[in-house]
Amino acid sequence: MNLKKLIAITSVTALGTAYASQPAQAQMASDEVLVNTCFSCHGTDGKSSGDMPTISGKSASYIFNKMMDFRSGKKPSTVMMRITKGFSDAELKAITNFFAKK
């Protein structure tokens, strides 16, 4: 193999490796943006100091099911219905996973 081919292959491999790690970093940043929506009512750690329920430490499935109940209208709430309708199921799962780990 000549030197030019070796350099080209090495460069492409290095670029591919660097690019492959970007989606994980972008996803992490994206999840942080998603949960910012919750902070004003539920606290930055999910432990509310006001009238809103504490959501940290609850299972992801519990939080997700509650959010789906808000979205469908099964559990009435003016604010949470609007908020949950603004997110995809995948985004709601990312949010619930964040708070379940707290």
Q: Tell me: the pLDDT tens digits for 15-33?
A: 444 444 445 545 545 778 8
Q: Is 71 among the domain residues?
A: yes
Q: Is 1 among the domain residues?
A: no
Q: How many domains does the chain have?
A: 1
Q: Is 2 among the domain residues?
A: no
12-22: string of b/e by CB count within 10 Å (b at 16+)? eeeeeeeeeee
Nearest alpha carbon to residue 71 among 88, 57, 96: 88
Q: Is 12 among the domain residues?
A: no
> What is the distance between the alpha carbons of residues 54 and 23, in angstroms, rounded to a whole number?
31
Judge whether 8 and 61 are in contact, CB under 8 Å. no
* Model confidence, pTM: 0.69
In this prediction, residue 27 carries a pLDDT of 53
Q: What is the CATH number of the domain that holds 82?
A: 1.10.760.10
User: By residue range, what is the domain housing residue 81?
Assistant: 26-100
